[in-house]
Every structure is written in structure tokens, then in C-alpha cells.
Structure 1
Amino acid sequence: MAITALALSTTATAAASPNPAWPKGVDVSSWQHQNGATIDWNAVKAAGNQFAVIKATEGTTYTNPQFASDKAGAQAAGLTIGAYHYARPALPISTAVDQANYFLAAAGNTNTIGQLAPVLDLETTGGLSPSDLTKWTQTFLRTVEGQTGRTPILYTFRSFWTDKIANTQAFAKYPLWFAIYNNNADPGPLPGGWPNWLIWQYDSGGAVNGINGRVDVNAFCCSAADLSASANGTVDQIAARYAAEPLLHISLGAPTRGEGPAGGGRWQPYANGLMFWSTETGTRALYGPIAQKYVASGGSNGSLGRPLEDISWTTAPDGLSAVFEGGRIYWHPALGAFIVHGEILKKYLADGGSGSWLGLPVSDEYDVPGGRESAFQHGKLTWSSTTNQVAESHDTAPAVGAVAAAVAP
């Protein structure tokens, strides 16, 4: 898991001196077992280490033969443990799902106390472009959080992030395990828009009692209490919010079945709605006709994608709306619930949305000659497939029932 030789050639390799108050730990793989060597985990613990992260898998064909024994040994010694997957990005993007599932099968249950969240070790591109590599990484991480309910940790180093994945800020909400061997008291500025780091791998050539040869050594930000909190895999984000907000019990009702994975996260159905969680969106609550419309459209696996906000009031009186990755749903008790998305949504919002002259939608988008159209209380917006432009029509929209009959199935 140490930074590659290419990266080391431009980075100082002298031992760093992190804050002594930061918990220390090691990460290991089969390299620490060469020539039949074993790890004395009690000695590792006695040397002052508090956590150990162990390589579990690589790609979809390699499982570390020492993973299970090292995990058990580190746990028995009283260390906080974690498991990491060495990424082998490849096309199609769906290979990320395959690798995530392979990793989780080998890592076992991570939803216990004393285990860090699953780790993705990303330090090779597999020939993917920055755009495809971003999509691949997102797919892997979302698969892991959907299956586990935990926010995965991402391991990388500066030159890889800036040169190979174009310094994207798409992962700034994921905990960062940052490798930099700078002989400083902290990692210094971070790439990718990360505001802080979770783990700092400050030396790839550490000497630790109980481990033969050199080993990666790390610091955890920033206290033993932080380490314990991060290693609590029993925290359920959806259940925690539901328990903390009694008003949700009224709007959502009682759970109707257990929580489970959804596209890009996890969801919990309730008698009158649902809650959705992912690292990138946080925990969002939908209820009533908007929730029903969302589920009918395919939920997070449909064109709307994941919810980005809770339901909120519209500018138009008595209306409600919800924002999703791929559009919005608007509802009014006299009109119903309808989806607006794409270029039509952009134009609608630019005109002022529900507070504009158009008012609220009275239809989903439907086919018209040469494009698509949405009807509103006081007009229509029509998208042209030829020009990719949206035209306004100020004629009064027909009655809701007439519009509904015109909507394509």
C-alpha cells in the first residue's frame, strides 16, 4: 500500500514526526509475511500502536492469504482493525461493482464495534481517463456504502490525485487516507478539495516491534476518541435521524420493513414515505404523494437518481417539491405530483420556477413532434430536439385531466 516508486522519487522519504497525541497504526499485506514470517500482534500493540488495516483483496482474483489470520490476531491483541481493497480499475465501469462485491465477501461483516470503514486503495488508473476513473471510483464507493451503510475510506497520494484523476473534488465528502512522506508534523495541504484527513501514512519504511522488515506506519486524526468513533460500525444514519426527529414519525409513519441497499446508497421504507442515505447526499426524507411518485419512477435507480434535499415548500402557495440528481418533483393538493427535468427544468428554474408566471406543473414531460413538452398551470415549455432550446407558450394550460390524457405512458 506504500506509494509507488515513481511517487517516492519526488518525495522525501525521511521518517516524519506526527503529533504524539495522534493514535498510531500500521497497514500490512502479504509482504509482511515473506519467507513464512509471522506478525506478533501483541508486540505491535505493546509498541504503542492502536490500529491495523489489512489488505483483503485486489481486483477480483486475489485474496490475501494472511488476511483472516492477521485480522483475528490484531483483534485479539486489542487493536482497532480495518480492511482495504487494492483497486484495479478497468472498463466497463461495472467492473467496480464486481470488485466491490468481491472485496466485501472477503472482508466479512464490517458493521461491528472496533472496525474502521472499508478502504479503497486507489493508486493505479488501469488506463482509464480521469473522467472514467472518477466514474469507476464513484461506482465502487457507492456499492460499498449501499451494501454496508458505512462511508468508505479512500487512500491515495498527491501526484496520483492531481495527475491521474485531474484533482477532482467529487470525493471530498469521503474520509481521506493520505500518503505523504514529508518529514513534517502534518501532511500539509490536501488535494481534491478535502478539508481534512482521517489517516496519514507518514512513512513506508517504519520499524515496528512484532513485524519483520519495514512496514507502513500511520497516524489517525486526531485522538483515541476519534478513532473509537470512526470504528463504530453499528451506527445507522437513517435510524439515527428518525430517532432524533419526532416530527418525522408523523410525516413518515412507522417503518414497514428493514433498511436495505438502493442505487447509490441505502433506503428505508415507511408507511407514508421513505428515507434515503448516501455519503454524498446525506440522509433525506420523502413522504406522501412525492414519495409515491418517486418510487413509481424507479427511485434512486430511475432517471431522477438520488434525493438531494428533503421535501420543502414551493414559492406557489400550498405546493411542495423535492430535488433529485436528475430533476424535481412538484406537488399541489389540487394538481397532483409531477416530474420536471432536463432542459425544460433548467428553463423553468431560470424563469423563476413555481414562483414564475408558469405556476406549478400539471403534467409530466411528454412527447410532441420534434421534441418534448411539459405543461404548467399557465403555459407550456417545449424542448426542441433539433436546436436543444426550450420555447415558452403563454396559452393557458388545459384542464389537468386533459393534460393527463395527453401524457405519453
Structure 2
Amino acid sequence: MARDRKPFRRRAHVIAASVTALTVGGIALTEVPAFAASKPKGHDVSSHQKNVDWRSAASKGAKFVYVKATESHTYRNPYFGQQYNGSRTAGLIRGAYHFALPNKSSGKTQAAHFVRNGGAWRADGWTLPPALDIEYNPYDKRHKCYNMSNSRMVVWIKSFSNEVKRLTGRRPVIYTTAHWWNACTGSSRAFASDHALWVARYNSSTAGTLPAGWGAWTFWQYDNSGSLPGDQNLFNGSLSQLKKFARGS
């Protein structure tokens, strides 16, 4: 459905590079950048994937997943329960993300809607911190930054983050691209010190130049298709570090 479109993740300006097949017992699991083959592999899903076969995803090497919970201040993923709870039952570390529409309502309003509808967090080692998906406007290509100035966008993100922190105790992970971030926040460095980065960059051997302020990525969405349902991701560390990150320690 339209609310689950992720259009800029298919942008043509990404840089092509070689990839290698990660295999177990000679069976290719997915195409991943060669240097990152040993990092924990995961994915993200939305209502587009409907009811996911979580046992199959786990058998193909998935260690974590982010599930779309909400968008703007009204929408909730109708498959959220099956996806969020089913992934945990299959042994995946899972978290929820919110698709931002900053032109529809305040950051505080959207954060409250998100946390009420799946974006909560607890320090159990199996729940990833809430995530904010902020990217090009999928509904109006003329206003890719939602017709907002850089300063207003920064204020919106801060409002969202502050409310998520107040309600859950964690700052949200920020999902974006360097191109969007630098264009729509004016290369703001206000978030890098206390927000983990989930960067999107496809068809590349590296995550490339990061959004302003960040020196490293925590999650990298490196493709929009592969052996796992939805988009393909890596965690920048070991499995034990992933569990520690989930706990907030």
C-alpha cells in the first residue's frame, strides 16, 4: 500500500560495486558486501510483506529485524502483531520503526502515536530501540523535504526524539541517507552524539560517506531485496554487541 512505499531507497544515484554471496553449507543466503559478511544480518519489514515466515527468515541467517509500526499520527501497520511478535518467537532481536511525515503533525504528536502503537522499548536484550525513518517525501516529489526549512526540520526531529526518550528511556535510532540528511537538515550535527545511525546505501561495497556528524553507522541497509523478506541490513558489530545495544548497556 502507498503508506509503505520507500521510494528513495531505489534511487539510481547509488554507486555500483561488487558483492559476494554469503553461504552456509554451500547455500547462498544473500548478497552482501564482501567485507561485511561476518556481521549479524537482519532485515526490515512493513505491511508490504504481510504475514512473514519467521522460521524461514531465521533459518536463512536473520538475527534481527525492524518492523514498521506507524506512519504520521494516524496509521498503524495492520500486520504489526504478526511481524513483531512472530519474529521474537523465532528467536530474532526485533524493534519497531516509525515513518515520519513531518508536514502532517508535530514530532511530539507522531512520537506519542508511535510509542502507543508498538514503539515501546524494554531492556530485555531482545528489543531494539525505537527507530525514526525520515526520508524523501513519498507523496509529493516537489517537496522532498516536506516544504520545511532546514531549521524547522531539525526542530521536528528533536521534538520526536525528546518525546520518544521521555516515554521509553531511549533515544531513537535515525534511519536516513546522507543525501537526504544533508539536504533537508542542512548537514545538522545535532544528533550524532546520542543517536545511533541506520544508513541506507545500495549496490556498494561500503556504506559510503555518512550523514553529517556521524563517524560510524550502527545499522546499514544495503539492499531493498535479498534472501530475507523486505530490505536487507547489517549490524556494525558482533551478535553479543547487538544484544548489548538492545539492552541499552
SS in 1 for 2:91: coil
User: In structure 2, what is the Cα distance between the partners aligned to 1:150 and 1:199?
Assistant: 17
Of 43, 47, 51, the match for 1:26: 43
TM-score by length of 1: 0.52
Contact 1:13 1:203 (C-alpha < 8 Å) held by counterparts:
no
Q: Which amino acid aligns with 1:86?
A: F
SS in 2 for 1:127: coil
Deviation at 1:39, TM superposition (A): 1.1
Aligned to 1:154: 174
Q: Which amino acid aligns with 1:103?
A: F
User: In structure 2, what is the Cα distance between the partners aligned to 1:176 and 1:5?
Assistant: 17
Of 76, 87, 96, the match for 1:63: 76
1:37-116 pair list within 5 angstroms: 38-90=51-103, 95-107=106-118, 109-113=120-124, 114-116=126-128
1:328-339 pair list within 5 angstroms: none
Aligned to 2:184: 164
1:317-336 pair list within 5 angstroms: none
TM-score by length of 2: 0.83
SS in 2 for 1:231: helix
Q: 1:44 to 1:203 in 2, by over 3 A?
A: same
1:223 maps onto 2:234 in alignment: no
Aligned to 2:24: none
Aligned residues: 222
Aligned to 1:195: 215
User: In structure 1, what is the Cα distance between the partners aligned to 2:226 and 2:177?
Assistant: 18
SS in 2 for 1:25: strand
Q: Which amino acid aligns with 1:163?
A: A
Q: 1:91 to 1:72 in 2, by over 3 A?
A: closer
Q: Which amino acid aligns with 1:43?
A: S
User: In structure 1, what is the Cα distance between the partners aligned to 2:54 and 2:16?
Assistant: 26
Deviation at 1:91, TM superposition (A): 7.1
Q: Deviations over 1:85-126 (max 9, x none)?
A: 00010277xx11110000000015411311010000011432
Bigger relative contact order (CA 8 A; separation at least 6): 2
Long gaps (5+) in structure 2: 18-30, 137-144
User: In structure 2, what is the Cα distance between the partners aligned to 1:47 and 1:187?
Assistant: 23
Q: Deviations over 1:281-318 (max 9, x none)?
A: xxxxxxxxxxxxxxxxxxxxxxxxxxxxxxxxxxxxxx
User: In structure 1, what is the Cα distance between the partners aligned to 2:38 and 2:103?
Assistant: 40
Q: 1:231 to 1:177 in 2, by over 3 A?
A: same
Deviation at 1:69, TM superposition (A): 1.4
Q: Deviations over 1:314-335 (max 9, x none)?
A: xxxxxxxxxxxxxxxxxxxxxx
Q: Which amino acid aligns with 1:158?
A: A
Contact 1:16 1:182 (C-alpha < 8 Å) held by counterparts:
no
Deviation at 1:9, TM superposition (A): 1.8
1:391-402 pair list within 5 angstroms: none
User: In structure 1, what is the Cα distance between the partners aligned to 2:73 and 2:119?
Assistant: 16
SS in 2 for 1:205: coil
Q: 1:27 to 1:6 in 2, by over 3 A?
A: closer
Contact 1:91 1:128 (C-alpha < 8 Å) held by counterparts:
no
Q: Which amino acid aligns with 1:220?
A: F
Aligned to 1:183: 204
Q: 1:217 to 1:91 in 2, by over 3 A?
A: closer
Superposition RMSD on alpha carbons, in Å?
Answer: 2.0
Contact 1:198 1:220 (C-alpha < 8 Å) held by counterparts:
yes
User: In structure 2, what is the Cα distance between the partners aligned to 1:23 and 1:195?
Assistant: 20
Aligned to 1:9: 12
Long gaps (5+) in structure 1: 236-409
SS in 1 for 2:247: coil
- Provide the identity percentage: 36
Q: Which amino acid aligns with 2:63?
A: Q
User: In structure 1, what is the Cα distance between the partners aligned to 2:216 and 2:231?
Assistant: 21
Task: Look at both structures and tell me which one has the larger radius of gyration over its CA atoms.
Answer: 1
